[in-house]
Amino acid sequence: MIHAFLTLALVCLALSTDAFAAALARGSRQRTHNIGQAVRVGAVFGLSEGLMFLLGWGLARSVAAYAEVVDHWIALILLAAIGAHMIREGLGDHPDEVPGEPAAQQRASPLLTLLTAIGTSVDAAAVGVAMALAGTSAWLALAIGLTSFVISTLGFSIGPALGVRFGQRAEIGGGLVLVAIGVSIFYSHVTGG
């Protein structure tokens, strides 16, 4: 029971690190912002993460009977690939920027925020597939959305103080967590424990 809760909590936190890093980057480029703006940015990221997870979860549940023999392999490959991608992004020196526009001049426009949120939540759909195949409930989408909302709101709010580098480190940590969860799912299916 504790292991399952810890795994689900880590999934929520790991998925929210992408959104946190992006919201932190958006917030670090703002000259001024208020709590309402931070809440709006957090809401966009939270909804995007939760809905994309639910989309992936629903897709996987519709084909779960056919994938049962290889579901642990799918979970391992998806989570390891997403985790590796997050680690690579976190190690890279290319923060969330709009090409051709100096970082200091970027604004958290609604369209740019939405596109960034969708881009960072594609991994949530893949994790939704993996988690559905591992037998988790669709209610996890709500937990992921709420966690991403809170973490993104916080990231946008503290962006000017912490800067983009902290967000990149958080993304590395989230990637490592997803890889570890993928290995754990695989191990528990292979060993029957």
Which structural domain range is residue 101 located in? 2-191
Predicted TM-score (pTM) of this structure: 0.73
Q: Which residues contact 140 (CB under 8 A, 6 or more apart)?
A: 8, 11, 12, 53, 57, 131
pLDDT in tens for each of the 193 residues of the chain?
Answer: 677 788 889 889 988 887 888 888 778 777 667 899 999 999 999 999 999 999 999 999 888 777 777 777 887 888 788 778 878 877 876 544 444 444 444 455 788 788 888 887 888 888 899 889 888 899 999 999 999 999 999 989 988 777 666 767 777 877 787 788 778 878 877 887 6
Q: Phi-psi bin for 107: left (phi > 0), alpha (psi -120 to 50), beta?
A: beta
- Look up the CATH number of the domain holding residue 73: 1.20.1250
How many structural domains is the chain composed of?
1
Give the side-chain half-sphere CA count within 13 A for 150.
Answer: 7
